[in-house]
């Protein structure tokens, strides 16, 4: 690929969710029915690591047993314990530990007890880094941030903490406030294919008729090639009928996410992260109508956002936080 920077490969575990109708999960591994010819294909923890060893990425992921967070019952516990058993098989199969960093993945659904068991089990194995998996699968935002907060509070501070499948700019800022370091998501390019640009205020839907005669750039403050050279009207004319529209929006969206990441990182290094968070939220929610889950998460992260919150909403969030029982406070 001629990519001279860091690379991360995933294990194939997510396909247990995305191709569930074609997969059969057992202790040995996961058997997929090929969507091409219908033939069965077995992916084991050992084979997943072997493939990733051959590719040679800097970070490789353990094969885990992934279930949607919206599922309840014994399947969640089964998947968590299997994930811990499979990490040992992944470690044993890993032939390039000095070249490649094997990350374990925390599972356990929305159950704080199961998450805690999995976190402690992975930390005991002293891995180079840790991922928080099984989120961004349809759970409510209040449950989402609480799982992230619980896991980051227990995982080692001196090793990368990676929230898989996230995400939206707001989610990244919130998770970073809670102690996460790494993210991955198809959102910037997927939403571009639907004709949507990411901007500091949220999103801009270029397919709307209102864009047809708008001669401004996507974001007047953006320095990317697209915003320097193309108007909203021109991109509107493309996204309805030409792949070039999706490509231009993908370029802009990736530029936006990279700039967001740079600014976020710089603010942490400079000791100005709380100011960064407030500026980010003020642009996205100029009326102060910040979602309650964000206010609650920032309260736990000990970041004061009262200056950019509507007074009533901030008081409500503070009240919610003060009403947490002792166990919940300890968990987050």
124 counts as catalytic: no
Alpha carbon distance 267, 181 (integer Å): 13
Residue 165, phi-psi category: left (phi > 0), alpha (psi -120 to 50), beta (remainder): left
Residue 65, phi-psi category: left (phi > 0), alpha (psi -120 to 50), beta (remainder): beta
Instruction: List phi, psi (to 5°) of 129.
Output: -165, 170
DSSP conformation letters of 96-152: -TTTSEEEEEE--TT-HHHHHHHHHHHHHTT-SEEEE-S-SSS--HHHHHHHHHHHH
327 counts as catalytic: no
From 88, 111, 116, 184, the catalytic residue: 184
Q: How far is CA 151 from CA 51, 133, 157, 173, 324, in A?
A: 29, 10, 11, 16, 18
From 10, 64, 171, 219, the catalytic residue: 10
Alpha carbon distance 36, 327 (integer Å): 50
Alpha carbon distance 72, 74 (integer Å): 7
Please check whether residue 137 is in contact with residue 171, taking contact to mean a CB–CB distance below 8 angstroms. no
Handedness of CA 297, 302, 303, 308 (dihedral sign): positive
CB atoms within 10 A of CB 240: 11
Q: How far is CA 306 from CA 149, 178, 209, 264, 317, in A?
A: 20, 18, 37, 20, 10
Q: How far is CA 73 from CA 68, 108, 205, in A?
A: 12, 11, 40
Instruction: Write out the two tokens for 133.
Output: 């998996």
Active-site residue numbers? 10, 184
């Amino acid at each position: 690929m001629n990519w001279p920077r860091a690379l991360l490969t995933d294990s194939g575990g997510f396909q247990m969710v995305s191709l569930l109708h074609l997969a059969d999960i057992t202790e040995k591994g996961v058997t997929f029915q090929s969507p091409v010819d219908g033939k069965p294909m077995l992916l084991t923890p050992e084979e997943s690591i072997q493939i990733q060893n051959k590719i040679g990425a800097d970070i490789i992921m353990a094969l885990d047993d992934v279930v949607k967070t919206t599922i309840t019952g014994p399947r969640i516990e089964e998947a968590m314990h299997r994930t811990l058993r499979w990490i040992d098989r992944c470690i044993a199969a890993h032939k390039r530990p000095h070249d490649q960093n094997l990350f374990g993945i925390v599972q356990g659904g929305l159950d704080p007890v199961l998450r805690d068991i999995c976190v402690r089990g992975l930390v005991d194995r002293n891995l180079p880094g840790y991922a928080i998996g099984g989120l961004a699968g349809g759970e409510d935002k209040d449950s989402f941030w609480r799982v992230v907060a619980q896991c980051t509070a227990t995982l080692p501070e001196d090793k990368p903490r990676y929230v898989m499948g996230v995400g939206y700019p707001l989610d990244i800022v919130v998770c970073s406030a809670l102690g996460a370091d790494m993210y991955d998501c198809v959102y910037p390019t997927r939403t571009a294919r639907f004709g949507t640009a990411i901007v500091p205020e949220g999103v801009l839907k270029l397919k709307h008729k209102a864009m047809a005669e708008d001669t401004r750039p996507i974001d007047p403050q953006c320095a990317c090639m697209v915003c320097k050279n193309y108007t909203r009207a021109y991109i509107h004319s493309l996204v309805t009928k030409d792949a070039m529209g999706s490509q231009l929006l993908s370029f802009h969206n990736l530029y936006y996410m990279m700039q967001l990441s740079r600014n976020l990182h710089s603010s942490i290094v400079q000791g100005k992260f709380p100011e960064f968070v407030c500026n980010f939220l003020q642009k996205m929610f100029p009326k102060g109508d910040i979602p309650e889950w964000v206010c609650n998460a920032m309260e736990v992260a000990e970041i004061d956002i009262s200056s950019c919150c509507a007074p009533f909403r901030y008081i409500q969030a503070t009240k919610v936080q003060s009403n947490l029982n002792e166990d919940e406070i300890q968990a987050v």
